[in-house]
């Protein structure tokens, strides 16, 4: 299953040589906003490539890009809509290459069953535990009063646990890759859960064997979490645009040079993964209408 994201490729040509950075914004409401600031990206030859790995799935989105310095030329594009394929995505906003999808067994079969197939997912989503929404209030005794003074503010967002299963040793290693950095993760769930996209800070990662015969690869994972704001920082590349992937495809610089292409192709991921023809990648966003 392909990681759902939008690749935004923008070129400023109005005033050549003046723009060095671009501010990228997204709206999930309309082409007129309101706009959410995403990131400032550097320009090379007045061109920018931006991976929106946090774009909502199954929802139309629009983009706004403002070049700086100079005239501050604004560019707009959209709508783009990522397909909803029914899986749960657990993403690292700062390390998109580690993103993983968790699927379901067909026909309501439990994940530990050998007959689980969709076909045969390596990672199976189990679900949420009970959720708590903590108060933000303090009680202070008052001399001579039966009731305390109270100071309160807005109730906190929810926290709880998530559970999932891995069915192969390879999938177990992928869980390590996803959680090892220790920072906030993003959950994207199918609409039937009634849970909008949310950022969480995971707690202790518990790994449990499912069988007395521990040679079997199945594992159950349980993770407490607290809802947090989106993390701030530069991304470490996508599945097709990171230095590890470049080294795997091109072991030497001579191999990379012989492949042709440009630094723009390298940043867009097309040099490593090729050009998609599925309508999600050239044009304004990558190599179809939208990117990804």
Cα–Cα nearest to 240, from 27, 67, 72, 96 = 96
Residue 118 shares a structural domain with residue 215: yes
Q: Is the pLDDT of residue 231 over 80?
A: yes
Q: What is the pLDDT of residue 3?
A: 76
**Residue 31 belongs to domain spanning:** 6-84+240-273
Cα–Cα distance for residue pair 216/231, rounded to 1 Å: 37
Average pLDDT over residues 71-79: 82
Residue 17 confidence (pLDDT) above 70: no
Domain count, the chain: 2
What pLDDT was estimated at residue 286? 35
Q: What is the CATH number of the domain that holds 156?
A: 2.40.30
Flag whether 280 is in a domain.
no
Does pLDDT of 265 surpass 50?
A: yes
50 and 77 in one domain? yes
Output the average pLDDT for the chain: 84
Q: What is the pLDDT of residues 171-200, one digit of tens each?
A: 999 999 999 999 999 999 999 999 999 999
What CA–CA distances, in Å, run from 201 to 61, 173, 196? 26, 20, 16
- Does some domain include residue 42? yes
In a domain, 290, yes or no: no
Residue 1 lies in a domain: no
281 has a pLDDT exceeding 80: no
- Tokens 């209030």 belong to 137
* 185-188 and 136-140 beta bridge pairing: unpaired
Q: Please check whether residues 220 and 151 belong to one and the same domain.
A: yes
Query: Are 60 and 159 within one domain?
Result: no
Task: Please check whether residue 281 lies inside any domain of the structure.
Answer: no
- Which CATH number belongs to the domain containing residue 245 in this structure? 2.60.40
Give yes or no for a contact between 264 and 274, defined as CB atoms under 8 angstroms apart: no
The pair phi, psi for residue 96, each rounded to 5°, is -60, -25
Band (pLDDT 50/70/90 cuts) for residue 110 is low
Percent of the chain with pLDDT over 70: 83
Same domain, 151 and 20: no
What b/e readout covers 218-249, taking b as 16+ CB neighbours within 10 angstroms?
Answer: bbbbbbbbbbeeeeeeebbbbbbbbeebbeee
33 with 15, same domain?
Answer: yes
How many other C-beta atoms are found inside a 10 Å radius of the C-beta of residue 42? 8
């Amino acid at each position: 299953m392909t990681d759902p994201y939008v690749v935004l490729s923008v070129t400023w040509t109005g005033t050549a040589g003046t723009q060095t950075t671009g501010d990228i914004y997204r709206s999930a409401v309309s082409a007129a906003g309101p706009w959410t600031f995403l990131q400032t990206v550097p320009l090379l030859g007045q061109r920018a490539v931006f991976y929106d790995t946090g774009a909502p799935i199954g929802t139309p989105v629009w983009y706004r890009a403002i070049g700086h310095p100079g005239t501050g030329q604004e560019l707009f594009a959209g709508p783009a809509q990522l397909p909803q394929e029914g899986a749960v995505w657990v993403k690292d906003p700062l390390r998109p290459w580690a993103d993983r999808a968790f699927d379901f067994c067909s026909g309501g079969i439990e994940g530990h069953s050998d007959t689980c197939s969709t076909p045969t997912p390596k990672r199976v989503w189990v679900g949420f535990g009970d959720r708590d929404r903590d108060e933000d209030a303090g009680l202070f005794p008052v001399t001579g009063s039966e009731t305390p003074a109270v100071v309160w503010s807005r109730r906190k967002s929810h926290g709880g646990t998530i559970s999932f299963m891995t069915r192969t040793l390879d999938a177990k290693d992928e869980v390590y890759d996803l959680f090892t950095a220790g920072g906030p993760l993003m959950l994207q769930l199918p609409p039937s859960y009634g849970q909008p996209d949310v950022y969480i800070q995971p707690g202790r990662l518990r790994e449990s064997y499912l069988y007395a015969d521990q040679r079997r690869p199945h594992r159950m994972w349980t993770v407490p979490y607290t809802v947090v704001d989106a993390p701030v920082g530069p991304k470490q590349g996508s599945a097709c645009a990171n230095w590890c992937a470049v080294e795997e495809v091109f072991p030497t610089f001579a191999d990379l040079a012989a492949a042709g292409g440009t630094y723009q192709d390298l940043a867009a991921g097309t040099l490593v993964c090729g050009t998609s023809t599925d309508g999600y990648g050239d044009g304004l966003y990558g190599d179809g209408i939208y990117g990804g």
